[in-house]
Chains A and B, each alone.
Chain A
């Protein structure tokens, strides 16, 4: 993987990487744009104009309170990205060190960490997130933390597995023979060699986090009004299913595209970063 140009060339010829990357880029651009500008302020309630059809003034129409759907979607993307970044960040920040520690120390340390991971893993993530919000009250922060906690065992497992494979390689033995300690070897040899696996997993967990946040918000346990969120838009659209079916389609499509884009990107990255696949091309 050393030659960065070759990696880029391979990436740009990979259809899923390009398609997924474009979708994710679009989402990020939307979120950045909405920080500075949206067609209408999302708090603007315009009851006389409620449930308007798409028009020049409201490209995607308005919802039951007369808010501009396009603006809600734009601003809602911020929410999804925020959840994704922080939840994946918690998973990476806690899970990866745990997995690396398990792999470097082996023995009972590994057992304790991995059994604790299994234990956390055994709970259905969404139900546990609902339980957490039941205890601490609904809200964005609680839902992010809940989703993040369930990313920890995912990253702990995957980094331990990948790290074990690296520890079995001769170059870690050679590094030990050169007098390096486990921490130094982990940082210099193990982590860089498992980075590609972690990047791929991070994109997939990002998609899962967006989906989980949408589900929690749909249930009314995630993002609270007036902060717009795709999941809550779905929830609000539900009551007008028969008058304005398109209200559910827009946020649903946004969620689907974001998740699809991230999964495609993850698949593409997996192929692009995997040196074994690279050689076959």
Chain B
């Protein structure tokens, strides 16, 4: 029995009550307020929310890339290994090897001074101690795997010689270099043209499927989640307000915030000049969250109680049973 068989008995990722506070001029601001979930190998999870909801911070917390002064509590178990409080050298061994990340901006996430094969070779040389020539050969395989056209010629290209979509393919090949168990993609297509977005997403989907990795896809684009992930978690104000299997969520959106997100979605076929629905207000400053539900001030269903007591997560028994329960953190979700 090898290492991987042993570790596969444990869930790929188990996050319990993850809390992160960031120092601000006005004191410690709670940026993540108790996030929990678990996922297995081969599962894909989407994290959705608007700017400031804590989705990118969650990704950074998983990678151990939070600012040094951030306070973290709770637990992140990667195949049974606790990551919270793990010393930096050990984290370095995990990053890029067992968990990897694709960044939002392919234009700036590659070093302009190095040819791309060197950047793909970096994790290989670091974690698998490959020689330069082996790593270059492997880099070519990886580039072919992410379907970069004319990969062989592109090995020695510099980032500025590639388009945005091509660079994002390079970023993906870097993330995949050491066959990680967990891939985190933080808005991997936001900076790309719409036509390229689809290609990159289906590439990620295919690669995740082939390797049986776990995928955490972060986005603010609902439509993109629909055919991309098994499960969606909706984040607001540093907490998960609703989580369900993707078809479930699209069929029965329960939390007022989720409903707002769906209503605000532009759709084809709307009459010209129709104003899109918006959610009134904006995400409050971290320091200004109400004691109760973070969304209370923008919610049309809110009553005084919502502002005072934090909402409890409750399962919607009606559907989404078993593996992926439909959970919503709102006592008033039954109201229309």
Contacts and interface: CB of A to CB of B under 8 A. Distances in A.
Contacts of A173: 65, 103, 109
Given A2-B158, A192-B113, A177 B108 contact: no
B48 interface: no
A275 interface: yes
Interface stretch (B90-98, B144-152, B212-220, B284-292): B90-98
B109 A174 contact: yes
B37 to A, nearest CB: 21
A6 B305 CA distance: 67
Interface string A91-114: 000000000000000110000000
Contacts of A275: 112
A175 B122 contact: yes
B108 A171 contact: yes
Interface stretch (A141-149, A178-186, A227-235): A178-186
Q: Top 10 closest A-B pairs, CB basis?
A: A179-B96, A178-B96, A170-B109, A179-B95, A177-B101, A178-B123, A170-B108, A171-B111, A2-B158, A174-B109
B336 interface: no
Interface of B: 63, 65, 68-69, 88-89, 92-97, 100-101, 103-105, 108-115, 122-123, 126-127, 158, 160, 171, 174-175, 177
Contacts of B95: 176-179
17 contacts: A2-B113, A2-B115, A169-B108, A170-B104, A171-B108, A173-B65, A174-B109, A177-B63, A178-B126, A179-B94, A179-B96, A179-B97, A179-B123, A180-B96, A180-B126, A181-B88, A188-B111
B98 to A, nearest CB: 9
Nearest to B126: A179
A20 B68 CA distance: 45
A194 to B, nearest CB: 11
Contacts of A58: none
A189 interface: yes
Given A170-B103, A179-B92, A106 B109 contact: no
A2 B65 CA distance: 30
Contacts of B92: 179-181
Contacts, number: 78
A191 to B, nearest CB: 10
B89 A181 contact: yes
A180 B122 contact: yes
A174 B126 contact: no
B68 A174 contact: no
Interface of A: 1-2, 106-107, 169-171, 173-181, 184, 188-189, 192-193, 275
Q: What is the interface of chain A mostly: helix, strand, loop, or mixed?
A: helix
B171 A174 contact: yes
Nearest to A190: B111
Given A174-B109, A179-B126, A192-B113, A106 B68 contact: yes
A1 B112 contact: yes
B123 to A, nearest CB: 4
A177 B100 contact: yes
Residue from A1, A170, A178, A192 having most chain B Cβ neighbours under 10 A: A178
A274 B285 CA distance: 38
Contacts of A184: 126
Nearest to B89: A181
Contact of B111 (A176, A181, A193): A193
Contacts of A2: 112-113, 115, 158, 160
A179 B127 CA distance: 8
Given A171-B108, A177-B96, A179-B92, 8 more contacts: A2-B115, A106-B68, A107-B68, A170-B104, A171-B110, A178-B96, A178-B122, A181-B92
Contacts of A189: 111
B113 A193 contact: yes
A181 B101 CA distance: 16
Contacts of B175: 177
Nearest to A189: B111
A174 B110 contact: yes
A173 B108 CA distance: 10
A60 to B, nearest CB: 47
Nearest to A275: B112
A180 B126 CA distance: 7
B70 to A, nearest CB: 13
Nearest to A174: B109
A213 B192 CA distance: 55
Nearest to B101: A177
A32 B280 CA distance: 75
A112 to B, nearest CB: 16
Contacts of B158: 2
B160 to A, nearest CB: 8
Contacts of A179: 92-97, 123, 126-127
